[in-house]
Structure 1
Amino acid sequence: MFFSVVIPTYNRKPILEKCLKALENQQLSDNKVQGYEVVVVDDGSTDDTLNWLANSQKEYPHVKVFEQNHQGPAAARNLGVEKATGDTIIFIDSDLVVTEKFLQSHADALIQGEQEQGNDCIFTYGWVINTCNFDDPSSEPYKITDYSRAYFATGNVAIARKWLEKAGNFDTRFQLYGWEDLELGVRLKKLGLQLIKCPEAVGYHWHPPFKLDQIPNLIDKEIQRGRMGVLFYEKHPTWDVRLMIQMTWIHRILWGVLSVGGRLNEKTMAPFLQWLIDIGKPQLALEVARVFLNWYNVQGVYEAYHELQQRTS
């Protein structure tokens, strides 16, 4: 098999450098992988990413660079698949740093999965370990908060190109934050594809340590995720999707109670969150902040759903 690693990026130059270096250091132990390329799609970055990539071609011989105006990750991944030459696509994000055995592990799991299933209706999903350690991302251990029940998520997934094309690739209407990969996953599941877990294919997902000045952006993302969630539900109006996007009375009650009707918010909880940060617990502070972040998400979901009902009535 020939791998095309498709990476959309937008203003992530510092961590993208670590991402690409890790992909150049792959150790392929047998002939399962005939070769690989790294297809980077710049989604309208303004941080000099394109110039840096143009001046670094010798350091990254596997990398091919394409660009588009800022249209979101769904359109960027579609462009990456269009430009890719491989028969097997691996999607990762540009803030993911992988191990040296990353490609080999996906190849091993794909071949073993085909043998066990008796067909090629499969894809592999590797581990994603969250870390805020920029200097040494791979030193982070796996944590219970890293566990994911997602069926198809583009943080670390390998799939035959033909299945993406048969499913119709990503829906480019998902231009805001969230759900474009899980929506494609619903269509892949309808084609009968089986998920093969591949914990040996490890990627370390870096994000900066949580600080209070990140909160407005995080709130905006949750509202965007709510709006895109309703688009997801509009395409697939099922109970499973309602649960995924938190559009149920259970979620309204849960986050309403936990946030005391929104009274526990970014303002009232700021002193406690700052205290956690000051004692060296930024990740715990972020998890606590999810109380009001999820409340904002649910508000965004129902506001967008109300707008949808008005348009269709």
Structure 2
Amino acid sequence: MFISIVIPTYNRKPILEKCLYALEQQKFTDTKINTYEIVLVDDGSTDGTLQWLDENRHDFPNVHYFAQDHLGPASARNLGIEKARGNIIIFIDSDLVVTESFLQSHANALIEGEKKLGSDCLFTYGAVINTCNFENPTSETYKVTDFSAAFFATGNVAISRVWLEKAGLFDTNFKQYGWEDLELGVRLKKLGLQLIKCPEAVGYHWHPAFNLKQVPNLINQEIQRGKMGILFYKKHPTFEVRLMIQMTWFHKTLWGMLSLGGILNEKTLSPLLQWLINHGKPQIALEIARIFLNWYNVKAVYKAYKDI
């Protein structure tokens, strides 16, 4: 088994360092894993990522890195697949820090899953734990908010490259934030692939603790996600996709009511959010902020749908 870990990155140098160092510390108990490589695709970073890699290449014997203009994660992952030499592709994000048994756990789950199903028509999905602890990200424990019901999310999945090629890789029309991985998941599901959960393959997804300076960018992401959601729906006009992108009357009513029709927004809620942040509760503040963030998303979905 030759594993290629494909990682797109864009302006994430500080946490990327931890990501790559953790991947270089993998330990194996099974000789069925012959070797592995880390295929890093820099998506036009401006933070010195490539210079840092050049200066520290001796620390990363398994890393092969490539660069492209800022074309988005779908394009970057496709380039990573093209350059990868392994028969198994693992996707993670560049702000994910893994444990030393990460690759072995995915490999074990793939082997056991193939035995159980009698084919390799499957992929494994590891656990993702969110953390804002930069110094020691792997110390975070699992929380209810870490649960994900996504079928194919590229934060932590392993799959035979043959299925990616049969499905047609990522759609590079998804140039803005969101949905390019779940859209590929729909095509993989149509090919009959089954999800095998692999909670032993843990990745710790780092992001800075929530603060009000992040709000404009988070709102912009939700608007982009709404636009890309309609692209997703145009390709797969099903009720399942409508649920995923929140294009239902239930979602419109829910977030409209919770936000009081937009009265509870980034301006009116900022005193409460700042108070929670000041009292050491940034995660609670973020969950409250999701009220207006989801309202921005739903409005963007319906606007984009109306525009087409």
What TM-score, normalized by structure 1, do the two folds share?
Answer: 0.98
How far apart in 1 are the matches of 2:301 and 2:228? Answer: 8
**Alignment-derived partner of residue 261 in structure 2:** 261
How far apart in 2 are the matches of 1:67 and 1:90? Answer: 19
How far apart in 2 are the matches of 1:55 and 1:37? Answer: 19
Displacement, 1:251?
0.5
Alignment of 1:1-313 (within 5 A): 1-308=1-308
Displacement, 1:233?
0.1
Q: Classify the secondary structure of the residue corresponding to 1:187.
A: helix
How far apart in 1 are the matches of 2:265 and 2:51? Answer: 41
How far apart in 2 are the matches of 1:147 and 1:192? Answer: 24
How far apart in 2 are the matches of 1:41 and 1:56? Answer: 16
Structure 1, unaligned stretches of length 5 or more? 309-313
Q: Which moved more, 1:154-163 or 1:24-33?
A: 24-33
> Number of paired residues?
308
Structure 2, unaligned stretches of length 5 or more? none
How far apart in 2 are the matches of 1:62 and 1:100? Answer: 15
Q: How high is the sequence identity, in percent, across the aligned residues?
A: 72
Question: Match of 1:299, as an amino acid?
Answer: K
Question: Match of 1:197, as an amino acid?
Answer: K
Question: Match of 1:188, as an amino acid?
Answer: L
| CA shift digits 1:22-78 (9 cap, x unpaired) | 000000111121100000000000000000001111000000000000000000000
How far apart in 2 are the matches of 1:283 and 1:68? Answer: 35
How far apart in 1 are the matches of 2:212 and 2:143? Answer: 23
What TM-score, normalized by structure 2, do the two folds share?
Answer: 1.00
**Alignment-derived partner of residue 311 in structure 1:** none
Question: Match of 2:27, as an amino acid?
Answer: Q
Q: Classify the secondary structure of the residue corresponding to 1:195.
A: strand
Displacement, 1:288?
0.6
Question: Match of 1:277, as an amino acid?
Answer: I
Q: Classify the secondary structure of the residue corresponding to 1:289.
A: helix
| CA shift digits 1:144-173 (9 cap, x unpaired) | 100111000000000000000000000000
Question: Match of 1:98, as an amino acid?
Answer: V
